[in-house]
A and B are shown apart, each in its own frame.
Chain A
Amino acid sequence: MKNLRNVFGGKGGGVNQYGMIIALVAIVIIFEFWTGGLTLTPQNVINVFTQYSYILILAIGMVMVIVAGHIDLSVGSVAAFVGISVAQSMAVWHLPWPLAIVLGLVIGALVGAWQGFWVAYVRVPAFIVTLAGQLIFRGGNQLIGNSTSLPVPGAYQFIGNGYLPDFGPNTGYSNPTLIIGLIVIVVLIIREIRARRKRVRMGAVLQPVWVSVVRVGVLIVVTLFATYEFASSSAGTSIPDVAIILGVLVLIYGFVTRSTVFGRHIYAVGGNSNAAVLSGVNSKRVNFLVMMNMSVLAAVAGMVYLGYSGASGPQDGTGWELDAIAAVFVGGAAIAGGVGTIVGSIIGGLVLAFLANGLALVGIDTNQVVIIRGLVLLVAVAFDVYSKSQGKPSITGFLTRNFRKKSGDDEGAPSGSDSVSEQPKSIEDQPQVLLP
């Protein structure tokens, strides 16, 4: 059983995604039957990705914000603000679309720097800063766009609803999709082999070979299935451009959070800010960059959505922040910070996306869909809280609690009982302000 857990036991942040993957598969299967096979038609899977990709992009940034112990309520407004700016730059100033995208990213970075400044250096809680940002940038969107809708040129729209162009012989499937599928499979195998080699070099306990085989096997099946789905849809479609963008972002940010010093610092600040500062982490810089990065990703999401919808409107992005936050928490992040992974959040986002999509397909009223999604979020986080009160780190900890062992804690309480000295609650809450 322990090995079974190892099949998908991710290591980042101390959470594994085992439980969430099961939940995702279960939801997809349930709806596949309930909708009479509509859920897994190629066209529907493509729809789910194009329709919800912006939420998944936001979830990538949001999980970093939440791991660092903050929250960002402004992402929807920032996305809309960037969207209208980009649309305006193309429609009014006739900026070519690549330049318009660069402009969008720059605006996102500036907005992020603004919010990061207040959060990191003035130490205004992120909740307040981004609540203000939600109002400010929503207002900015409507001011620039005159509260009306502004269409974007067709050439730009590929970013939201384009597909990889087909080429080569007519196989009946999309050739680029097949190639990407093949590459992914090869990479998966190589990665597993390298990971095993690394563990051998480290002299660490090696998992049985069958665990590796099963893990890679399952991932290959999933990849083959996805490849088939994306490649066999109606003529002219293939793997959507947004899925490529999303994939690249997941790879980059997965690497950053897992393997870089900066990534470690995010978890350190979120897990125990005082201990992080006393280990030499510049927590202000970490907080600043995390908030800034979130707004850049919000800009990306806004621009993707702009391409998808073909026009920038005054209500774009309303409520996105809640979808993104929900995805992160369903994906196993902890409310108190310090715990959460990129992949977990993407899976959490997909759970919510397939849930909404499936419920819509079976014809459930949209208002009821909203209620159900709310309940799913509540239950997921309730599990998190409950399992924490049981001394387990997350929802996955709850699902796998029987498989863990806990060594005794012989810590005696009394020695600390005389010890309440007059230390400030947080090292950083001191009046002295260290602006670098």
Chain B
Amino acid sequence: MPTILEMRSITKEFPGVIALSDVSMSVKAGEIHAICGENGAGKSTLMKVLSGVYPFGTYSGDVVFHDQVMRFSNIRQSEAAGIAIIHQELALIPELSITENIFLGNEQGRFGVIDWVEAQKEAQDLLARVGLTDDPDTKIKSIGVGKQQLVEIAKALAKSVKLLILDEPTAALNEAESQHLLELIVGLKGKGVTSIMISHKLNEIEQIADTITILRDGKTIETLDVRGGDVDEDRIIRGMVGRSLESRFPDRTPKIGDVFFEVKNWTVQHPLDSSRLVCKDENFTVRKGEIVGFAGLMGAGRTELAMSLFGHSYGTFVSGKVYKDGKEIRVNNVGQAIEHGIGYVSEDRKALGLNLLDTIKRATVSAGLKKISRAGVVSEIEEYEVSERYLKTLRTKATSVDEGVNNLSGGNQQKVVLSKWMFTDPDLLILDEPTRGIDVGAKYEIYGIINQLAAQGKGIVLISSELPELLGMSDRIYTIFEGSITNELTAQEANPESLMVSMTSKRTRA
């Protein structure tokens, strides 16, 4: 089989971070090529290079498609060449019909006037090709996510796509919808469409992929030929995680007390789709002074669990109980959660963690204004003293507490968020990806802060996509898969393979 795509020595840098370093891969015409890797391994970045989201010139290396070096400066050009990418979040417009969406940006007609009869007819053909029987006049919002995914594919087919890139296509689909989609991809292969698929679901990859390229830390690790040899999930996992744990974590002697925080039968619905449960009957405990890790892949429901516990900030609460020090507590809103001594450092610092217009001192006291105010009047002196104290103890790099948080680097912003929650003096601090987007040096400092908090007897819940971080920091680790807690491992029992097994399926392996 001839090679349709070759990516040669692709290197892509962002300020301070090398996202892709000398990545090469080649895709044969008419195959299904899977790309595997941990969160942050560089899969999506690589696909963005390929599809022109990162234009030619912002990366080094060559994208060779049909034996020609491509110089895409935007998505339109890559689409014109026959490369279509279907993103994790669908790019369909809910209020428009299937037909209108399929031909959006690719309207059928002359002189700017759309030929709706022709469009309708073609839409019908395309829908038939992807196995949809819905009326092309149906609005997107009235069909389910699974069908929307198929419409996305029809849209790509309308542009006579040669190479289809699917980024986590089944992440939001149920079992039956996923199967249908996978069969469709196999069917398209029979009709000459090559596919690149990014997926965390290894069973699906095993089922349909011909070749697998594994990325880790922005580098190509290996390419596996599924059809030729014995490749199984364990083999893939080893490739994905196979890295040594360096001493990137400060020393700590855990002093673990009694169980003080307990969650029972926690069940939460997706906020918009009541048929989907994002937390399914989850139970866990936290001891005083303990760091409890939560492992799970993107979309497994870790953030959803944390935010729903933190004052029902996510989803529709269905059932479940929270006990603290043996007594049931109510956490129906964030105010109550804070009063009961729960803090939550969110995954998305800029969208959920900080008001970027604030100065450091304002941000530091923003969750604990009650503590520095009398009769509703904020004491600016205490505000200054408190923020200055945290600035010094956490060694935040800033000229003064009057500096805007917007001017700080990611690591220092995270320290401000941490001080904000430390000032509320929580007993349980939930840290959601606390080191995302932070350079190595600042990470080490943040690990030190986490250890200190644990040493003070606080319970820490650490949610992270980075397995080394979980393994290096946690005393105990829970794994989450599709909204359920699938396993509980002590620090001694846990290793990357055992975690990855429980993160990618319901099976457990001791």
Contacts and interface: CB of A to CB of B under 8 A. Distances in A.
B295 to A, nearest CB: 15
A263 B316 CA distance: 31
A407 B408 contact: yes
Contacts of A277: 313, 334
B48 A417 contact: yes
B352 A411 contact: no
A339 interface: yes
Given A275-B355, A414-B42, A282 B335 contact: yes
Contacts of A11: 402
Interface in B339-364: 344, 346-348, 351-359, 362
Contacts of B45: 414, 417
A434 B28 CA distance: 54
A278 B356 contact: no
B369 A267 contact: no
B317 A432 contact: yes
B225 interface: no
A221 B359 CA distance: 32
**Interface residue tally of chain B, by bracket?**
35 or more
Interface in A388-422: 393, 406-422
A406 B403 CA distance: 10
B378 A260 contact: yes
A416 B316 contact: no
Contact of A279 (B334, B356, B377): B334
A260 B332 CA distance: 26
Given A201-B381, A204-B384, A271-B356, A412 B408 contact: no
B355 A271 contact: yes
A264 B362 contact: yes
Given A261-B376, A278-B310, A411 B410 contact: yes
11 contacts: A14-B404, A204-B402, A260-B373, A268-B355, A272-B351, A272-B354, A277-B313, A280-B311, A282-B333, A282-B335, A434-B332
A290 B52 CA distance: 46
A427 interface: yes
Contacts, number: 187
Nearest to A262: B376
B409 A407 contact: yes
Residue with the greatest number of chain B CB neighbours at <10 A, chosen from A203, A279, A420: A279
Interface in A245-278: 259-265, 267-268, 271-272, 274-278
B17 A414 contact: yes
B352 A419 contact: no
B40 A414 contact: yes
A268 B355 CA distance: 7
B271 interface: yes
A149 to B, nearest CB: 43
B376 A276 contact: no
Contacts of B311: 280
Interface of B: 12, 14-17, 19, 39-45, 48, 88-89, 172, 270-272, 298-299, 303, 310-317, 332-335, 337-338, 344, 346-348, 351-359, 362, 366-367, 369-370, 373, 376-378, 380-381, 384-385, 388, 400, 402, 404, 407-411, 420, 433, 436-437, 439
Nearest to B383: A202
Contact of B409 (A14, A198, A411, A413): A411
Nearest to B88: A420
Given A412-B14, A414-B40, A202 B314 contact: no
Given A261-B376, A267-B355, A430-B316, A419 B436 contact: yes
Contact of A432 (B312, B378, B381): B312
A278 B40 CA distance: 26
A261 B436 contact: no
Most buried by B among A276, A417, A422: A422
Given A261-B373, A412-B15, A412-B410, A393 B39 contact: no
Interface string A173-209: 0000000000000000000000000100111110000
B334 A410 contact: no
A279 B420 contact: yes
Nearest to B370: A261
Contacts of A302: none
Contact of B378 (A259, A274, A417, A434): A259
A83 interface: no
Contacts of A271: 355-358
Given A279-B334, A410-B410, A430-B271, A416 B367 contact: no
A338 B357 contact: yes
A98 interface: no
B35 to A, nearest CB: 12
B74 to A, nearest CB: 18
